[in-house]
Amino acid sequence: MNLDHIAETYVKLVLAVGEHDESYVDAYIGPAAWRDDAKTQAVSLNALLAQADALIAHSKSLPPAPQDQTERHVFLGLQIAAVRAHIAFLNGTVLPFDEESKVLYDAVSPTLTPADLDKTLAELDGLLPGEGDLNQRLSHYNKQFEIPRDKLDAVFSAAINEARARTRRYIALPDNESFSVEYVSGKVWSAYNWYKGNSHSLIEVNTDFPMFISRAIDLASHEAYPGHHVFNVLIENELVKEKGWIEYAIYPLYSPMSFLAEGSANYGIEVAFPHAERMAFEKEVLFPLAGIDPEKAERYYQIQAVLQRLSYAGNMVAKRYLDGEIDRETAINMLMTYSLSDAERSAQRIRFIEKLRSYVINYNLGQDVVQAYIEQRAGTQDQDKRWAVLTDLLRQPKSASMMLT
């Protein structure tokens, strides 16, 4: 076996696993015949485990790859190990939260306790109007920043168009790249990018809850530009079509690829919209489109910045809940206390955790690792350099440990 053969075998293995878990294959742009074969060949989980073990052994026995493919070999090895771990999970092997995240995403979230969040909660107590329960005060405050449903498409479309214009100044994209937006309900996520191939994405936005004005740019950048849509377009055109690295024709959701995808999509918000530029665009365009008073923007985003420091609370709750330390009701109450989400959104978050488990670390820890990687190489002030390093990272995927070395 050479590296290309291992890559092909890996793609077929992921497709076979996808027949046991319909959420596993997030995107596939490879040969249709391989997908058809996977649907017609019922391979047991035990047999897939054996295939994964053999593929890992073959990958480890390869001679050193050419210099321009060394990182490709390392990244593929981590992807294969993650496939094996997910097969084992489907077959009944449930790992502790940290062990699971390490083998699936090549990363472990920092240990956090409620006491670590108390200082941030105290700061918010001084920022939010009113007295009493902090969660209720935040919910009441946030109501004035909800985008009316009949204005959601106009606001979200304006945010996407601006994010696209900013991204295309720095990243060369195919002329035919495109996306469509649909509004859905009954999902555990707030938005999702479904990559369809040929440089096209479908972006679904969940309308179960009203969208806050801060989420318009966040989701436009995260799901589209320079986030998931751009990442997938670059992978398809530069890695699959130009280099023939067929392993990138498939995206297994529970894999190191997701750590980079979610982390770069989150940090890409800041790259595309530095704070001062974001505030100007929000005040001049998005707030008026949503019918929200632009004079309230500065205070609102001051509070949002403090709330961001609570992001790891979700990891803390997920770990305790999935490791059996707390029950579901306690987990929801902890999210209400330490993430300050209301009861309904906290329940939705628990459904997300139940479905995607340790995937939650990819958003905050992923963002922090990608941010550190980029800023070590480009600093924080030179936009040209930040865009260049971000683009190179999307074109040459690295796992968490690869970014930290």
Task: Using pLDDT thresholds of 50, 70 and 90, give the confidence band for residue 16.
Answer: very high
In the three-class reduction of DSSP (H, G, I as helix; E, B as strand; rest coil), residue 233 is classed as helix
Taking Cα atoms as reference points, which of 262, 314, 357, 307 lies closest to residue 112? 314
- List phi, psi (to 5°) of 308: -60, -30
The 10s digit of each residue's pLDDT in 69-89 is 999 999 999 999 999 999 999
State which amino acid sits at residue 338. Y
In the chain, what are the helix, strand and coil shares in percent, each to the nearest 5? 70, 5, 25
Reported as a pLDDT band with limits 50, 70 and 90, residue 405 is confident
The HSE-up count of residue 187 (CA atoms within 13 Å, CB side) is: 14
pTM of the model: 0.96
Model confidence at 65, in pLDDT bands (50, 70, 90)?
confident
pLDDT > 90? residue 132 = no
The residue among 344, 390, 315, 70 whose CA lies nearest residue 188 is 344
| pLDDT digit string, tens, across residues 180-224 | 999 999 998 899 999 999 999 999 999 998 899 999 999 999 999
> Tens digits of per-residue pLDDT, 233-253?
999 999 999 999 999 999 999
Dist. CA 367–CA 306, nearest whole Å? 16
How wide is the angle at C-alpha 296 spanned by C-alphas 291 and 300, nearest 5°? 110
Tokens (6 digits) for 279: 């505030």
DSSP, residue by residue, 360-384: GHHHHHHHHHHHHHHHHHHTTT-HH
Task: Sheet containing 200-206: give its strands across.
Answer: 178-184, 200-206, 191-197
What was the pLDDT predicted at 160?
A: 96
Look at residues 286, 177, 260, 294 and name the one whose alpha carbon lies nearest to residue 225: 177
**pLDDT for res 1:** 79
Percentage, residues of the chain above pLDDT 90: 95
Digit-coded pLDDT (tens) for 105-130: 999 999 999 999 999 999 999 999 98
Q: Which sign does the torsion angle of CA 401, 192, 315, 211 carry?
A: positive
